[in-house]
């Protein structure tokens, strides 16, 4: 089952990487592919391969894989326990030899009491217990039995955490000009996406963009994008910096610096009767048209002097064209910071100053810590599996017709071709060590081996 | 001599040394000349020195470790491949012929790298994180480990074929054992053979498995570090990007291998063939997919940066 589900997942995700995916491919590109390869795309769509990560087939296989992981963890745990309790073949003839079993006989003469065997085994790192006259058992790194089940538990946690993230996650996006504030509510976000069970943000915190900086490499590539922001929350204010790959956590959300940025003329509209409205109009690097002016239905097109200087756009000159919604230009000309333009009907537009704007993502992913915990657990278990292999020895004092010496049986809980050699060396060292001891000690030999 | 020319000269010397090393090894293997194989090891060791110089010069010039362009990726990946192989041979001198796959592949990959664009590209802002260093370091360790595992698998298959042709029965379960035909001994059969210096089949099989497990661990760590980085950069720890997806496929392929090994007792030639196939998948994931698919990792190959 494990093999089948892993193979099926590998095949499906490999196909998912090759076949254009409906959600991640630009719509025009996807439509062109469907038209260009009608047979292949037809088959792919019929099998759900154009949205493979949400296809019932993939989700079913992933579910089976998870179920298998859980069953496997239980099975491995009980198997490890049975093995831990079982006796090695030299003492329990009813037990069939397993892959890790090795049996060697020490070539040295028997010259010692059991006490020295215990001492020797303990020096080798074994926990020793006596199994009767002339019989000892040593266990080493017994906790290694828990490693493989632990690895599988880690993977189950990763999957459980991923499920929680997909169900409860929230993502929003907002663009802020320097000095502009934002309360974490859906109404203020330009775009949002919710998991099926995700709650809506409800003003858990507020933030203000104090400054945005962008720096360039010599070849024109962006080198640094970072924002000074101040968070407002129940405990007070927290000024901080967010930058690419360095988000800030706040009240269960993470706030990310995104790649979007540009210039935002800070405008004040004055209307008949003395009413005023202030706001920012974010314009991208390439300029945008048809932006609505604050507090009015007037549309404006702005263009900036793109000459770069230490102060940014130099000297902040704004080419403005303001039109009524139904058409008809009411103002067209260049504005300097602080200058006002008469738009007619008692309305005026004052260009206060020029500021930067940047995009900020607000993300909440409850359950992500479970993914991280599970991943860390699984990797740690894998590392330990590599380094820590439990093994145990049974040592029997021999005598009588079988000749003097020790029978040493070992079992290592992972296949290792050279384990037999190591066990030989161990038995030899055991014999050599004991051969150094003075003669005349009591011989204690199990009856059935004597 | 400026830094540019130092790097170019160093990399060409390294390429020349690897070419010599690969040629000596292949000829030595084909004509059973052990001395040539020893020399190939020395040539590879000599080649690693200018290779290291080229990496250091590049690092200083670019202001970051060499990892964001096809040339840089090849430069550092091949260095790791050769270093891990040489480390293995240092520890087990009898495994010198194991470069049969590693050295020619290094020569070919480095050759492709040398002829690609060597333009230095600046780091995008999202790349300025320690997680990236972990992600990339473990990617290279993964490649090196899988390469050496496959190398040992290849050597296993060659020795096993030699023994089988001489009537030796290779028993796989419960332990790999070489059983000589009646009245003979394996040592006797190998006494005149080039293969006598190689470790036993059981040892090679075990080492191959250990490198595969190490690669599996490194691959998992690479994926995990990449996920943390992606979450820090974009708020998404997993985006089904084609290259990360193929890394997952590689990880699953080796995960299946561990299951086959531990549960089904796959050892010997089946295991060796599997790790060779696994290397092909890993090479696809590391060197082909970023090039042919639209991916965040496309930056590796000097394609457009996804910032």
Cα B240 from Cα A15, distance rounded (Å)? 11
In a domain, A283, yes or no: yes
Higher-pLDDT residue of A77 and A71 is A71
- Measure CA of the first residue to CA of the last residue in chain B; give whole Å: 35
A75 at B interface, C-beta within 8 A: no
Confidence of residue A318 (pLDDT cuts 50, 70, 90): confident
Q: Among all residues of chain A, which has the CA nearest to that of B129?
A: A245
Q: What is the DSSP letter of A290?
A: -
User: Pick from A6, A254, A375: which is nearest to B235 by CB?
Assistant: A254
Name residue, tokens 């006989």.
A105
Whether A244 and A105 share a structural domain: no
> Considering only CB atoms, which chain A residues are within 8 Å of B125?
222-226, 243-245
Whether A243 and A350 share a structural domain: yes
* Counts for chain B of helices (H) and strands (E), in that order: 10, 2
Please state the rounded mean pLDDT for residues A36-44.
83
Cα A90 from Cα A104, distance rounded (Å)? 10
pLDDT tens-digit profile of A162-192?
999 989 999 999 999 999 998 888 888 888 8
B16 at A interface, C-beta within 8 A: no
In a domain, A409, yes or no: yes
Phi, psi of B241 (to 5 degrees): -65, 140
CA angle at residue B276 from B272 to B281, to 5 degrees? 140
Q: H/E element holding A270? A: strand A253-270
Confidence of residue A315 (pLDDT cuts 50, 70, 90): low
Strands laid side by side in the A127-132 sheet: A101-105, A405-412, A391-398, A135-140, A127-132
Whether A348 and A393 share a structural domain: no
What are the CA-CA distances from residue A314 to residues A306, A317, A333, A358, B7 (Å)? 7, 7, 17, 19, 41
Phi, psi of A266 (to 5 degrees): -90, 115
Whether A276 and A295 share a structural domain: yes
Confidence of residue A309 (pLDDT cuts 50, 70, 90): low
Higher-pLDDT residue of A144 and A267 is A267
Which residue(s) pair with A222 in the sheet? A216
Which of B252, B292, B298 is most worth mutating to test chain A (most A CB atoms within 10 A of its CB)? B252
* Last residue of one domain, picked from the residues A347, A364, A381: A364
Whether A249 and A351 share a structural domain: yes
In a domain, A370, yes or no: no
Query: The tokens of A201 are what?
Result: 């943000």
Whether A239 and A332 share a structural domain: yes
* Domain range enclosing A50: 2-75
Cα B265 from Cα B278, distance rounded (Å)? 18
Q: Which residues of A7-22 are buried (b: 16+ CB within 10 A; e: fewer)?
A: ebbbebbbbbbbbbbb
**Do A355 and A214 touch, CB atoms closer than 8 A?**
no
Please state the rounded mean pLDDT for residues A27-53.
82
Residue A123 sits in a domain of what CATH number?
Answer: 3.30.310
Query: What pLDDT does A257 receive?
Result: 92
Exposure of A294 in the CB half-sphere (CA atoms within 13 A): 19
Q: Among all residues of chain A, which has the CA nearest to that of B267?
A: A415
Higher-pLDDT residue of A412 and B67 is B67
Query: What pLDDT does A284 receive?
Result: 60
Q: Among all residues of chain A, which has the CA nearest to that of B173?
A: A99
Which residue(s) pair with A181 in the sheet? A208
* Last residue of one domain, picked from the residues A75, A100, A132: A75
DSSP conformation letters of B52-113:
HHHHHHHHHHHTS-S-SSHHHHHHHHHHHHHHHHHHHHHH-GGGGGGHHHHHHHHHHHHHHH
Please state the rounded mean pLDDT for residues A146-157.
88
Interchain contact, A417 vs B203, CB within 8 Å: yes
The answer, yes or no, to whether residue A110 has pLDDT greater than 50, is no
Whether A210 and A332 share a structural domain: yes
Whether A424 and A357 share a structural domain: no
In a domain, A217, yes or no: yes
Confidence of residue A287 (pLDDT cuts 50, 70, 90): very low
Whether A255 and A281 share a structural domain: yes
Confidence of residue A449 (pLDDT cuts 50, 70, 90): very low
Cα B260 from Cα B282, distance rounded (Å)? 19
Please state the rounded mean pLDDT for residues A349-363.
90
The answer, yes or no, to whether residue A428 has pLDDT greater than 90, is no
Q: What is the DSSP letter of A246?
A: B
Indicate left, alpha or beta for B32 from its phi (over 0: left) and psi (-120 to 50: alpha).
Answer: left
B289 at A interface, C-beta within 8 A: yes
Query: What pLDDT does A105 receive?
Result: 44
The answer, yes or no, to whether residue A448 has pLDDT greater than 70, is no
Chain A residues 12-71 with CB within 8 Å of chain B: 13-14, 16-18, 21, 24, 53
B171 at A interface, C-beta within 8 A: no
User: Pick from A24, A99, A382: which is nearest to B174 by CB?
Assistant: A99
Which of B133, B170, B205, B249 is most worth mutating to test chain A (most A CB atoms within 10 A of its CB)? B249
> Considering only CB atoms, which chain A residues are within 8 Å of B131?
245
Query: What pLDDT does B215 receive?
Result: 94
In a domain, A312, yes or no: yes
- Residue A360: count of CB within 10 angstroms of its CB: 24
**Do B275 and B292 touch, CB atoms closer than 8 A?**
no
The answer, yes or no, to whether residue A308 has pLDDT greater than 60, is no
Q: What is the DSSP letter of B198?
A: S
B256 at A interface, C-beta within 8 A: yes
Least trusted range by pLDDT, from A344-353, A376-385, B179-188: B179-188
In a domain, A65, yes or no: yes
Which of B175, B221, B236, B298 is most worth mutating to test chain A (most A CB atoms within 10 A of its CB)? B175
Whether A344 and A243 share a structural domain: yes
DSSP conformation letters of A134-191:
TEEEEEE-GGGGGHHHHHHHHHHHHHHHHHHHHHH-EEEEEEEETT-EEES-GGG-SE
What are the CA-CA distances from residue A335 to residues A286, A303, B173 (Å)? 19, 10, 86
Confidence of residue A364 (pLDDT cuts 50, 70, 90): very high
In a domain, A38, yes or no: yes
Name residue, tokens 């945008």.
A288
What averages of pLDDT result for each successive group of 10 residues across chain B (307 residues)?
A: 78 94 89 85 93 92 84 90 88 82 90 84 82 89 91 90 82 72 71 75 87 93 92 86 88 92 84 94 85 70 47
Interchain contact, A379 vs B227, CB within 8 Å: no
Interchain contact, B235 vs A6, CB within 8 Å: no
B280 at A interface, C-beta within 8 A: no
- Residue B108: count of CB within 10 angstroms of its CB: 14
DSSP conformation letters of B178-190:
EEPPTT--HHHHH
* Last residue of one domain, picked from the residues A19, A47, A75: A75
Query: The tokens of A427 are what?
Result: 């038995």
| Total domains present in chain A | 3
Which of A2, A6, A14 is most worth mutating to test chain B (most B CB atoms within 10 A of its CB)? A14
Query: What pLDDT does A313 receive?
Result: 64
Interchain contact, A368 vs B221, CB within 8 Å: no
Please state the rounded mean pLDDT for residues A1-25.
84
Please state the rounded mean pLDDT for residues A133-142.
77
What are the CA-CA distances from residue B121 to residues A217, A243, A375, B65 (Å)? 10, 21, 33, 11
Which of B235, B248, B286 is most worth mutating to test chain A (most A CB atoms within 10 A of its CB)? B235
Query: What pLDDT does A155 receive?
Result: 92
Query: What pLDDT does A26 receive?
Result: 77
In a domain, A255, yes or no: yes
Q: H/E element holding A57? A: helix A56-85
Chain A residues 338-397 with CB within 8 Å of chain B: 361, 363, 365, 368, 371-372, 375-376, 378-379, 382-383, 385-386
Residue A431 Cα, gap to closest chain B Cα (Å): 26
Query: What pLDDT does A90 receive?
Result: 45
Whether A118 and A249 share a structural domain: no
Whether A323 and A436 share a structural domain: no
- Percent of chain A past pLDDT 90, that is, above it, reads 16
Interchain contact, A223 vs B123, CB within 8 Å: yes
């Amino acid at each position: 089952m494990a093999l089948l589900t892993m193979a099926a997942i590998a095949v499906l995700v490999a196909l998912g990487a090759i076949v254009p995916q409906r959600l991640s491919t630009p719509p025009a590109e996807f439509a062109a592919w469907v038209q260009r390869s009608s047979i292949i795309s037809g088959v792919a769509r019929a099998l759900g391969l154009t949205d493979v990560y949400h296809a019932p087939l993939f989700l079913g296989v992933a579910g089976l894989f998870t179920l298998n992981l859980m069953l496997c963890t239980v099975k491995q745990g009980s198997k490890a326990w049975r093995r831990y309790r079982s006796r090695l073949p030299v003492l329990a003839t009813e037990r069939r030899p397993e892959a890790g079993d090795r049996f060697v006989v020490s070539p040295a003469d028997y010259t010692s009491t059991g006490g020295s065997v215990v001492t020797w085994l303990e020096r080798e790192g074994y926990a020793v217990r006596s199994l009767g006259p002339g019989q000892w058992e040593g266990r080493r790194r017994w906790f290694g039995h828990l490693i493989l089940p632990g690895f599988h538990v880690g993977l189950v946690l990763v999957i459980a955490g991923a499920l929680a993230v997909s169900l409860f996650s929230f993502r929003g996006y907002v663009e802020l000009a320097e000095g502009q504030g934002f309360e974490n509510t859906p109404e203020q976000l330009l775009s949002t996406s919710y998991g099926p069970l995700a709650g809506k943000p409800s003003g858990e915190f507020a933030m203000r963009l104090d400054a945005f900086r962008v720096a360039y490499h010599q070849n024109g590539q962006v080198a640094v994008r970072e924002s000074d922001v101040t968070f407002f929350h129940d405990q007070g204010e927290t000024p901080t910096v967010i930058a690419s790959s360095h988000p800030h956590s706040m009240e269960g959300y993470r706030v990310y610096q995104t790649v979007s940025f540009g210039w935002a003329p800070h405008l004040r509209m004055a209307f008949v009767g003395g009413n005023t409205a202030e706001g920012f109009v974010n314009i991208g690097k390439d300029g945008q048209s048809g932006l609505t002016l604050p507090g009015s239905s007037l549309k404006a097109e702005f263009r900036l002097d793109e000459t770069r200087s230490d102060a940014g756009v130099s000297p902040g000159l704004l080419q403005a064209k303001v039109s009524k919604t139904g058409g008809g230009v009411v103002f067209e000309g260049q504005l300097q910071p602080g200058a006002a333009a008469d738009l007619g009907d008692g309305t005026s537009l004052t260009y206060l100053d020029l500021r930067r704007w940047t995009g900020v993502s607000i993300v909440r992913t409850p359950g992500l810590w479970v993914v991280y915990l599970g991943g860390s657990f699984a990797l740690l278990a894998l590392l330990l599996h590599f380094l820590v292999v439990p093994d145990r020895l049974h040592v029997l004092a021999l005598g009588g017709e079988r000749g003097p010496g020790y029978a040493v049986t070992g079992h290592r809980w992972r296949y290792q071709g050279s384990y037999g050699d190591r066990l030989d060396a161990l038995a030899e060292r055991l014999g050599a060590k004991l051969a150094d001891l003075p003669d005349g000690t009591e011989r204690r030999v199990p009856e059935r081996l004597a | 001599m400026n830094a540019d020319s130092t790097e170019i000269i160093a990399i060409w010397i390294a390429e020349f040394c690897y070419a010599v090393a690969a040629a000596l090894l292949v000829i030595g293997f084909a004509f059973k000349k052990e001395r040539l194989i020893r020399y190939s090891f020395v040539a590879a060791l000599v080649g690693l020195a200018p290779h290291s110089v080229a990496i250091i010069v590049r690092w200083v010039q670019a202001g970051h470790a060499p990892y964001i362009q096809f040339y840089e990726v090849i430069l550092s990946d091949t260095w790791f491949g050769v270093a891990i192989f040489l480390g293995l041979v240092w520890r087990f001198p009898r495994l010198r012929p194991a470069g049969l796959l590693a050295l020619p592949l290094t020569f070919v990959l480095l050759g492709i790298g040398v002829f690609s664009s060597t333009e230095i590209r600046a780091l995008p802002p999202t790349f300025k994180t320690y997680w990236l260093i972990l992600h990339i370091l473990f990617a290279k360790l993964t490649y090196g480990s899988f390469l050496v595992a496959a190398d040992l698998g290849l050597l296993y298959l060659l020795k096993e074929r030699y023994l089988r042709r001489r009537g030796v029965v290779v028993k796989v379960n419960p332990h790999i054992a070489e059983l000589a035909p009646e009245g003979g001994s394996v040592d006797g059969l190998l006494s005149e053979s080039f293969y006598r210096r190689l470790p036993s089949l059981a040892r090679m099989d075990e080492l191959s498995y250990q490198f595969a497990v190490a690669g599996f661990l490194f691959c998992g760590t690479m994926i995990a570090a990449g996920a943390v980085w992606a979450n820090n950069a974009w708020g998404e720890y997993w985006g089904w990007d084609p290259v990360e997806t193929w890394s997952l496929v590689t990880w699953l392929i080796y995960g299946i291998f561990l299951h086959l090994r531990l549960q089904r007792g796959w050892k010997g030639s089946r295991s060796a063939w599997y790790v060779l196939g696994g290397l092909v998948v890993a090479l696809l994931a590391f060197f082909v997919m970023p090039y042919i698919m639209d991916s965040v990792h496309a930056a590796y190959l000097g394609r457009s940066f996804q910032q």
